[in-house]
Structure 1
Amino acid sequence: MPDDGTRAWTFLSNHGHVLVALSRDPAARIRDIADTVGITERTAQGILRDLEDAGYVSKDKVGRRNLYRLHVDLHLRHPAETETSVRELLAVFD
């Protein structure tokens, strides 16, 4: 992010960044997801809860860790992108 006082923005929301992080490491800890995205652990937990509630992500307990599964055949939520699946979005980052 720029340090020159200009307003910083990105093309993806933090929700999108979390999806990308999980696609790269489905066994990531919340701490790792937060660090990767540049958000707090509490924010990462909230985003994960949003994604789970909407059906984009589910998690399985494996020992003391979570293993996240992305439901990539679901479509994006914004009316301008409803024809695009999560799979198609994530393919950009492969």
Structure 2
Amino acid sequence: MAATTRKSTAKAAPKKAPGRAALKTAAAPTRSWTFLTNHARVLLNVAHGESLTARELSVMIGITERSVQTILADLIADGYLKKSKVGRRNHYTVNPERPMRHPLEAAHSIGELIAALS
């Protein structure tokens, strides 16, 4: 006699939906946003006059050191900051006369922004 194999036709029990307590703990993370960009944060911290390294700025702002270096390069390239060497460190000076970048704020200078937020 030949043995026959039977496939099981029984269906697996459907999974139960998580209860309310499980849904509360597994909720999607809340979105986070702020009014100031990282560029503004770097500019404001440099404007306070302390000679901070990119690493120190990154810790203060909460972004990577590489991001701070990129932002500093952007601000220097567009004339908002001037870089000079003091010993082995870079020192940054704000050009307060530069206008804001967006056309809606172009009538205002960076110096006005710094004064308003300091």
The alignment's TM-score, normalised by the length of structure 2, stands at 0.73
Query: In proportion to residue count, which structure has more helix?
Result: 1
Q: Distance in 2 between matches of 1:80 and 1:7?
A: 27
> What is the root-mean-square deviation in Å for CA atoms of aligned residues?
1.3
Which of structures 1 and 2 has the bigger CA Rg? 2
Aligned residues: 91
Q: Percent identity?
A: 43
- Which structure has the higher relative contact order (CA within 8 Å, separation 6+)? 1
Unaligned runs of 5+ in 1: none
Partner SS, residue 80 of structure 1: coil
Structure 1 outlier segments of 4+, above 4 Å: none
Consecutive unaligned residues of structure 2, counting only runs of 5 or more, are: 1-27
Q: 1:1-94, aligned counterparts within 5 Å?
A: 5-94=29-118
- Distance, in Å, in 2 between the alignment partners of 1:75 and 1:14 is 18
- What TM-score comes out, normalization by structure 1 length? 0.90
